[in-house]
Amino acid sequence: MFDSHTQGTTPFEKAEAQRSRGDKRLITGIATNRLIKLLEEADIMIDMYKNAAGIYHSFPTETNRQVMEDTLELATEALKDKKSAEAALEEVAKMAEQLGFQE
């Protein structure tokens, strides 16, 4: 193959460069979609905890307390995942910008 910093002039080199750019765009899109899905799932888990805590505070039973504690563990992990996904999404955006991808 040719160096990515040089522009090919033959039709094959141009097609190869376009294919490579298309591959990068596809990979960037897939990564972005996966990260967004992870963020959405994390938000669902966090909302489940908020709902369970609200129920417990309104009806402080042992069962509701246990549900709240169980969902707190899930929400804690979800929050960690969300922070990681947000950071990864920022990195994907930076890389996409460096590759010249724009919305």
- Amino acid identity of residue 35, one-letter, is L
Domain locations in the chain as residue ranges: 11-98
**Does residue 19 or residue 41 have the better pLDDT?**
41
Average pLDDT over the chain, rounded to whole? 90
Q: How confident is the model at residue 3 (pLDDT cuts 50, 70, 90)?
A: very low
- Euclidean distance between CA atoms 34 and 57, whole angstroms: 35
Number of C-alpha atoms within 13 angstroms, CB side, residue 76?
Answer: 6
Reply yes or no on whether the pLDDT at 27 is more than 50.
yes
**pLDDT for res 85:** 97
